[in-house]
C-alpha cells in the first residue's frame, strides 16, 4: 500500500524485529538527501545571480572607462597642467601650509554627522517594544560624548563668531 508523505511517494513501512521501519528509514534518508540538494541548488542559484550582477557591473565600468579613454581628445597645454582649486588661480607653490584651526571645524562636522547617522536607527529601535529603556540610556551616553566634544570646541573658542 502506498501513500503521499510531504509530496514524495513513500512505501508503507515494514516492521522488523527491533521495532524499526526499515523501508521507511531508507526512504526518509533518500528524501532528506534530495531536499538538501534542492535547497543547496536554490542557495547557490541566488548567489550566482549576485555574482553575475557584480561581474556585469565591473564590465560596465571597465567598458565605460575604456571608451572614455579612446574617445576623448588628449591635448595637454600648460594651462591644463596647472593646479586648480575652488575657482581661484594658483599663486605660489603647489605645497602650502594650512591653518591648524581648521581641524576643529572638521572635528565639529564629524560630531554632528555621527550624531545624525546614529539618531535615525536609534529612533526606529526606540519604538520597538521592550527596547525603550535600554535605547534611552544608550542615547544619553551618546549625547554625553557629544557634549564633551562640544565643550572641547567651546573651550578652544571655535563656537565664537568673530
Alpha helices in the chain (DSSP H): 22-71, 102-126, 132-155
Q: Which parts of 14-144 are beta strand (E)?
A: none
Position 99 confidence tier, pLDDT thresholds 50, 70, 90:
confident
**What is the reported pLDDT for 92?**
67
φ, ψ of residue 135 to 5 degrees: the values are -70, -30
**What is the reported pLDDT for 161?**
67
Q: Residue 15 pairs with which residues in a beta bridge? A: 21
Q: Cα–Cα distance between 120 and 133 in angstroms, integer?
A: 17
**What is the reported pLDDT for 66?**
95
CA distances to 47, 55, 57, 64, 73 from 60, rounded to whole Å, are: 20, 9, 5, 6, 22
Q: Cα–Cα distance between 150 and 115 in angstroms, integer?
A: 12
DSSP state of 86: T
Q: What is the pTM of this model?
A: 0.33
pLDDT in tens, 110-122: 877 877 787 777 7
CB proximity list for 23: less than 8 A, separation 6 or greater: 11, 12, 13, 14
Q: Cα–Cα distance between 111 and 11 in angstroms, integer?
A: 69
Mean pLDDT of the residues in the chain: 75
Helix (H, G, I), strand (E, B) or coil at 57: helix
Helix (H, G, I), strand (E, B) or coil at 8: strand
The average pLDDT across 84-111 equals: 71
Asked if pLDDT for residue 75 goes beyond 60, the answer is yes
**What is the reported pLDDT for 2?**
45
Position 53 confidence tier, pLDDT thresholds 50, 70, 90:
very high
Amino acid at each position: 500500500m502506498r501513500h503521499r508523505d510531504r509530496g514524495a511517494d513513500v512505501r508503507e513501512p515494514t516492521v522488523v524485529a527491533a521495532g524499526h521501519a526499515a523501508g521507511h528509514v531508507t526512504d526518509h534518508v533518500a528524501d532528506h538527501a534530495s531536499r538538501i540538494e534542492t535547497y543547496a541548488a536554490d542557495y547557490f542559484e541566488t548567489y550566482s545571480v549576485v555574482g553575475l550582477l557584480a561581474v556585469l557591473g565591473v564590465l560596465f565600468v571597465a567598458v565605460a572607462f575604456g571608451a572614455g579613454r579612446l574617445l576623448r581628445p588628449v591635448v595637454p597645454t600648460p594651462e591644463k597642467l596647472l593646479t586648480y582649486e575652488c575657482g581661484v588661480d594658483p599663486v605660489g607653490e603647489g605645497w602650502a601650509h594650512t591653518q591648524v584651526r581648521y581641524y576643529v571645524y572638521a572635528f565639529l562636522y564629524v560630531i554632528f554627522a555621527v550624531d545624525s547617522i546614529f539618531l535615525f536607527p536609534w529612533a526606529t529601535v526606540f519604538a520597538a517594544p521592550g527596547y525603550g529603556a535600554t535605547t534611552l540610556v544608550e542615547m544619553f551616553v551618546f549625547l554625553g560624548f557629544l557634549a564633551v566634544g562640544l565643550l572641547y570646541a567651546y573651550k578652544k573658542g571655535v563656537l565664537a563668531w568673530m
